[in-house]
Amino acid sequence: MLLKESREEIVKYGNKMLESNLTTGSGGNLSIYNREANLVAISPSGLPYYETRPEDIVIVNLQGEIIEGKLQPSSELNMHLIFYKNRPDVNAVMHTHSVFATTISCLNEEIPAVHYLVAFGGNKIPCADYATYGTQELAENAWQSMGSKYQVGLLANHGLLAVANDMSAAFNSAEEIEFAAELYYRTRAIGEPVILNESEMDLMQEKFKTYGQVQKNQKVE
């Protein structure tokens, strides 16, 4: 069985997405790119996370051809591949339909720096233009919106996309930006949120670059 560890990680983080209310049922999808093998392990299409076993994970190459697996890969495969093809710093992609991020995406608005934790995604969270789910157009819109600058983006009228060096970091970013999206929703409901300035957000992004290395021993406060 190819990429056994990546398959197990996808099962584990799929369940973590459910437990953390980042998605429901089979919504969203996640993948890991093994650069040595030049292969991607991705969640299968339409299978609930709690039923997914390591052998259900689909292994594809960067052209999207199935190398190993009986099931169809996630319908958003192209949106994952476009980041692996274009960003050497990205080895994991997580896509969720978490409620508050998706709420903001339905306004077709960005999430500004309402809290310093927005820096997990960039100095703001951009929103990609709408396109039908599972299309190459959606993959291109996401890439055009996030490019090499952002770790997290919204997809208009759809959800959230997080890219990172590894799956643990992608999950963290998805979770922190869902939190920021909720804060943005709540603050706008009762007033006008104060937005942090660019230089503070640049500093926060510098600090978070080492977050992956420190997270095992300490939490960001």
Active site residues: 76
- Residue count, binding to Zn ion (CB under 5 A): 1
Q: Give the Å distances, CA to CA, from 118 to 75, 100, 193, 201.
A: 28, 14, 14, 8
Q: Which is nearer to Zn ion, 126 or 159 (CB)?
A: 159
Residues of span 134-173 touching Zn ion by CB under 5 A:
159
- For residue 138, the minimal CB distance to Zn ion (Å) is 9
Q: Which is nearer to Zn ion, 144 or 215 (CB)?
A: 144
Q: Which is nearer to Zn ion, 23 or 123 (CB)?
A: 23
Q: How far is it, in rounded angstroms, from Cα 207 to Cα 204?
A: 5
Question: Looking at beta carbons, which pairs linking 142-145 to residues 24 or more positions away fall under 8 Å?
Answer: 142/79, 142/82, 143/82, 143/83, 143/86
Q: Which is nearer to Zn ion, 91 or 105 (CB)?
A: 105
Residue nearest to Zn ion (CB): 159
Contact criterion met (CB below 8 Å) for 53 and 71: no
Strand partners, 92: 32, 164
- For residue 219, the minimal CB distance to Zn ion (Å) is 29
Q: How far is it, in rounded angstroms, from Cα 32 to Cα 7?
A: 8
Q: Give the Å distances, CA to CA, from 28 to 47, 139, 161, 194.
A: 11, 14, 9, 31
Strand order, beta sheet including 92-96: 66-68, 58-60, 39-42, 29-34, 92-96, 159-164, 152-155, 127-128
- For residue 43, the minimal CB distance to Zn ion (Å) is 12
- For residue 76, the minimal CB distance to Zn ion (Å) is 6
Q: Which residues bind Zn ion (CB under 5 A)?
A: 159
